[in-house]
Structure 1
Amino acid sequence: MPKLSNRVQTFTDSVIRRMTRISDEYGAINLSQGFPDFPPPKAITDRLKEVADEGPHQYSVTFGAENFREALAAKAGPRLGHEVDPDEEVLVTCGGTEAMMSAMMTICNPGDRVIVFSPFYENYGADAILSGAEPIFVPLVPPDYHFDPAQIEAGFRQGAKAIIVCNPSNPCGKVFTRDELLTIGKLALQYDAYVVTDEVYEHMVYAPNVHTCMASLPGMWDHTITCNSLSKTYSITGWRLGWMIGPAEVIECAKKVHDFLTVGAPAPLQEAAVVGLKFPQSYYDGLLETYTKKRDYFCGGLTRIGVEHNVPQGTYFVMVDISRYLALGQFAGWSDQQFCEWMIRELGVAAVPGSSFFREPVNHLIRLHFAREQATLDEALRRLSRLADLLR
């Protein structure tokens, strides 16, 4: 049998999706893969019912239906500090995942380098490899996940063409401050590099933290490719609607990449989602209030159980420290992956091993999420309370 490509030997399948498969096998509560278990806004699903009868059911314009791009530009423009041209500066993609991949393939040549913060959402390393680039990892240091600007500059000095910034950050929930983003932006300008941002959790930023779009900072519009998605904001992760917004010359080239990757995002779902893009600010205020309550409730429950964890500044993810359990005799020599599989089998709760997010040899953290109905969170905490028995 002929040999396969070298690139597919350099990364694994998604650990997150793998944990979901194991969770489904055992009927566990899935707090690993980050999708809500509650319905999308009714206005969006009502519109989808109408679209099922009315259409469109055929291809839209490959780079996005006109009304969708116009609604998207109107929503995103004020946050980006730029009057976004829906024809020249917007590309609609099959989810934020494709937006990131298209961005990387547009700006990277084989052999280029790209700076990636660690911990990182697992797709970023694979995106770099699939686009022919070499990732340079810069650590975000717990517990506050700060970074050393000198290490970023060292990456640019090694020829990094871009830096990926997930803000708020999956998996650790860090929200980059304006000053931190200014530091990153200054270095990107100094070394004439791009900043590729993933801002899918932009509406899940907990007070007193504030979300700042990199593209809105002085001089950064021409150096920023903003990737985003409807998945988390409207609880429609299965619809696979995302986008890239950036300078016209970048988007023009990205359209070609996107066209041959997927042709276009689903036309009927774009039509149905337009209503969501036109929601008033009160919707986003309500979304933040809901997730703030879920964060406080879930983190409070973990604290009462005695589970050590961080308190995320944004997103709906929590990093849990399992060091005390791994120090017990019954888990001697175990990896975080093995512990997560034990949790699924014995506790009925699925998490993601933290080692899948870190370049560094981290084996003591796991990731949970709280995008679940109240009853689900209650049952998950009840099951997790058995962890306390291990320490008695």
Structure 2
Amino acid sequence: MLKGKKIAVYVTGGIAVYKVSDLVRRLIKAGATVKVAMTKSATEFVTPLTFQILSKHHVYTDTFDEREGDKVSHIHLADWSDLAVVAPATANSLAKMANGLADDFVSTALLATTAPVFIVPAMNQHMLENPATVRNIQTLEDDGRFVMEPDTGFLAEGYTGKGRFPETEKIVETIQEFLLNKEPNLPLKNKKVVITAGGTKERIDPVRYITNDSSGKMGYSLAIAARNLGADVCLISASKTLQTPYGVSLIPVETAQQMHHAVDVEFDTASIVIMSAAVSDYRPEQVLNEKIKKNEQEMILKLVKNKDILATLGSQKKHQFLIGFAAETTNVEEYAKGKLVKKKADMIVANDVSKPHAGFNKDTNEVTIFMVDEEPVELSVNSKQAIAEEILAIALTKMTK
């Protein structure tokens, strides 16, 4: 979502300035080109050289420092940017923006900016809650500016309160969601995508269960990819270790039966359903309420079969595009093709989980996509995020035929 975007970061004078260097780095890592402007107060906390090295661009600090004779610097930066980010935004900078004051480079450039403006306030709680600040934030929101909610935490003054600069990852995710909401022509806009993720757990007793090695990373990558295409994403997850992506609705589950119920509830209104979870095929016939004690040399555990969620969905689908996953260790193509037909899926994404760069608990994957009456499509080793984006790109081409 940030790839190729031109982002102007306006840094104003608060203690959180030092955190903005990481924000600039993360924006660049996400594919954006970043230019930085600073108020005089901001340069008291972090030097412009820091941001110049990170951004590889001159840092603007003085309205009258015109380096290019054919450009007016503050107007040029305003016109150049696809997005303006004000971080941290002090109470003073909020007041200037709300009232159209322009007495330095930052306030002048912001007044000339027609691109979306994303504001990250950070200040003492009492300053944040002052009626004047509350009024200024409301004015900015009424003017179409996006003002991010500050975090609650330990403040520079030595006590806990609201006004803390949010974590970098949270800001970047919120920026991406903000830009998504402004994109009118995304291919999955107003479409619902249901995705399952993680390895389900089947309880034996209060401390033991049957599960597998699935981390849920592939499902979460698919959720991010679908969100970035504009979808309303419902992520049904058996994983408890991964952070829920911003803009994604999470339904936590544990067992295969719970996952089946959650998918069934969401299925009718879905346009795409992606079963990427590693669902337990069997569960213990009896779940004990107390821990099993070690008595005998052997213990027999009787298992019963869980309902096949993918096959059930395949028999029920109407308008839905159904994608299943096949994690195999041998005869990958044979099993994947069989699964495609037997379970009436539109696509099966198969991978050999015995390979070193594919499968469970990896950040990379290598898959082959099978579709009815189509040649298999091989996706070579890449990050799970890149693989997720390719899977959805292929699905979209088939859905529009």
Higher relative contact order (CA 8 A, sep 6+): 1
* TM-score grouping bracket, smaller chain normalisation: under 0.3
Larger CA Rg, structure 1 vs 2: 2
- Normalized per residue, which structure has more strand? 2
- Normalized per residue, which structure has more helix? 1
TM-score by length of 2: 0.26
